[in-house]
Structure 1
């Protein structure tokens, strides 16, 4: 089996390296210095425009919507580059949400959103954390269809009630995709416009210092045309978001290990670079192994999502393995980096501090490895490999 990247995938990664080349993570204040306020009031609009101009927002869209028709592997290659510079843009959320609308949404919804999202004219995000960050997102909001009123799309409006916490880019995105459950235990995806009647936002600050939003829905009425009811839509979107987050963690880990290696090769003790000390070499070698495990499990999960290839386990098994390695690996990488940098690791004027804050946010977003191991165990029990 050939696991090399295609020319189109490599071209997307090369374009991303060019776009992100001038991004300086230390140009944003440390969350430790903002006194409980977000590190910035908006996403990086200049970078967002460059990403759109390079056609990186439309990678997963088909030609009809002005896209390149590429797959999850190409997106993850781009996200890896974004993670290296802590890019402050909803690249993952917009790309994944648009891909879900393309795959499962109706004709009217696709026409209204996809081309505009691909050109960067609108930003999309996803409410994927549920009420508390620990429960299933689709269970945090109820959805019922009101057959007595129809504002477009046929079949009556949908009425949503519930709360979604820690919605990324909630204040900047034009639309939020909100998973919800119906009375017959189905999941739907509602496309909710910013400022939609019946919705309110409360500011939350992440460990990275970015502004999140608690989205509260109280009898929010969503036209039927803006609700995706196709089976499997939320599960597919959730897997793509998780895999993309693993790609961001991989890019962050790549850069942090590079910073650590560079520092250890220049920092001297007893007349020798600390990189020559056995204890330092062993620790950095262990973190290199973490990165390679994060990488191989990421590409396996992205390939399964992209190809829909059958396997002994559902694709959710590959995603769980990728999340296990990403959440544990990125934590170990930044902790080792902090240790080997000594006092510099705690200096808020040194960029490693921001990488540590972002790594913690990504780790929390992915969830604890133990939970994914339990889910993987349940899958193995239901799909024995023997």
Structure 2
């Protein structure tokens, strides 16, 4: 398979590197040293630079001011952002624009996409479900009361661990209807004081501010609902594949950090990188990263091209999640081991990468669950 990137995709990578390379991952307080979130807001200055580089409009069609690129370009940009632990809602925002672009009404696209592409409107997504272990589309109900009761849509339920919710202008929430369909509800941000919407603060393993979102009879107009049955699967696959890209970028940064350290740290008059035990562990983690990369591009390519295959797209996504979840954990654990006590120093950025890696691992879910999903797909789609 040819994994050569197009000129447009390569241009997106170059723009991302120009924006994210100067970012210092150790410029944020350590989660271990704060009693609350590491910051009250995301990095607005970095957000502005990202918007100025036209990276927020990657998946928006040209008629709405975007580049009209695909999931591969998104993953390439997320990979660069994750290398420096960029504190912006990049994945959630761009994935949300893709769902609106593909399945929103003309009115909704006109209202949201131009401002979202410029960064003037911040979008995020609730995708963890009620507990983090159940389907996000099952955690909230959406019903249409009769016109005599006000019409529109009424939402009830809860979502946990919603990223950047306190700072977003719109929160996209999947919800199931009485007939079993899934819709996307575009809630206004907390600044609007929508009746029936409440956010409770949560703190992630990274020290970032999350929200537990509660809906109690919150009412939306039909214009704030995307009722296409394909909208949530697209959004979910983009979020999942994008998280795998973040895990890859983080892992690559950590392995480079480990390589630099072991090349300089000496024992018995020699750099510890020359010791066989150290070299073998580093080589194993390099293999993990290459497997994470190959499975990521396979999933992103299937998602971008909608190309048919012997198995559904869900199989490629499950394989990518298996490698990303296990791989990012192994990379940071090996890095901590090879750094010794230095890796736990809060003045050194490795502990922040470890915290972000754990957050990504938990977001992706256990590899065993994805292997079970893959097994079920193989059983229901026999090959040959």
The answer, yes or no, to whether TM exceeds 0.5 is yes
Aligned counterpart, 2:82: 83
User: Cα distance, 1:147 vs. partner?
Assistant: 2.8
- Decide whether the 8 Å contact of 1:42 with 1:172 is kept in 2: yes
After superposition, give the CA deviation of every residue in 1:162-205 in whole Å (9 maximum; x if it has no partner). Answer: 00000000101111110011111111110000132210000000
- Call closer, same or farther: CA 1:150–1:95 in 2, change over 3 Å: farther
Aligned counterpart, 1:323: 321
Aligned counterpart, 2:95: 96
2:205 aligned with 1:207: yes
Aligned counterpart, 2:137: 138
Which of 165, 171, 176 is 1:170 aligned to? 165
Secondary structure at 1:134's aligned position in 2?
coil
Aligned counterpart, 1:15: 15
User: Cα distance, 1:2 vs. partner?
Assistant: 2.7
- Call closer, same or farther: CA 1:149–1:66 in 2, change over 3 Å: farther
Aligned counterpart, 2:29: 29
Secondary structure at 2:362's aligned position in 1?
helix
Aligned counterpart, 1:279: 277
2:182 aligned with 1:192: no
**What are the equivalent positions in structure 2 for 1:259-298 lying under 5 Å apart?**
259-298=257-296
Q: Distance in 1 between matches of 2:149 and 2:18?
A: 47
Secondary structure at 1:171's aligned position in 2?
helix
Q: Distance in 1 between matches of 2:101 and 2:212?
A: 27
After superposition, give the CA deviation of every residue in 1:260-319 in whole Å (9 maximum; x if it has no partner). Answer: 000000000011100000000000000000000000000011111100001111111111
Aligned counterpart, 2:4: 4
Secondary structure at 1:282's aligned position in 2?
helix
**What are the equivalent positions in structure 2 for 1:1-386 lying under 5 Å apart?**
1-35=1-35, 37-148=36-147, 156-195=151-190, 196-386=194-384
Secondary structure at 2:58's aligned position in 1?
coil
Q: Distance in 2 between matches of 1:348 and 1:119?
A: 35
Secondary structure at 1:146's aligned position in 2?
coil
Q: Distance in 2 between matches of 1:197 and 1:111?
A: 26
After superposition, give the CA deviation of every residue in 1:119-151 in whole Å (9 maximum; x if it has no partner). Answer: 000110110000000000011001101231698
- Decide whether the 8 Å contact of 1:250 with 1:326 is kept in 2: yes
- Decide whether the 8 Å contact of 1:161 with 1:218 is kept in 2: yes
Q: Normalized against structure 2, the TM-score is what?
A: 0.98
After superposition, give the CA deviation of every residue in 1:97-121 in whole Å (9 maximum; x if it has no partner). Answer: 0100110111111111111100000
After superposition, give the CA deviation of every residue in 1:46-67 in whole Å (9 maximum; x if it has no partner). Answer: 0000000000000101111100
- Call closer, same or farther: CA 1:203–1:289 in 2, change over 3 Å: same
Q: Distance in 2 between matches of 1:148 and 1:372?
A: 44
- Decide whether the 8 Å contact of 1:73 with 1:303 is kept in 2: yes
Q: Which runs of 5+ in 2 are unaligned?
A: none
Q: Which runs of 5+ in 1 are unaligned?
A: none
Q: Which runs of at least 4 in structure 1 moved beyond 3 Å after TM superposition?
A: none
User: Cα distance, 1:351 vs. partner?
Assistant: 0.4
User: Cα distance, 1:376 vs. partner?
Assistant: 1.0
**Aligned-CA RMSD value:** 1.0
User: Cα distance, 1:230 vs. partner?
Assistant: 0.7
Q: Distance in 2 between matches of 1:255 and 1:226?
A: 40
- Decide whether the 8 Å contact of 1:267 with 1:273 is kept in 2: yes
Q: How many matched pairs?
A: 381
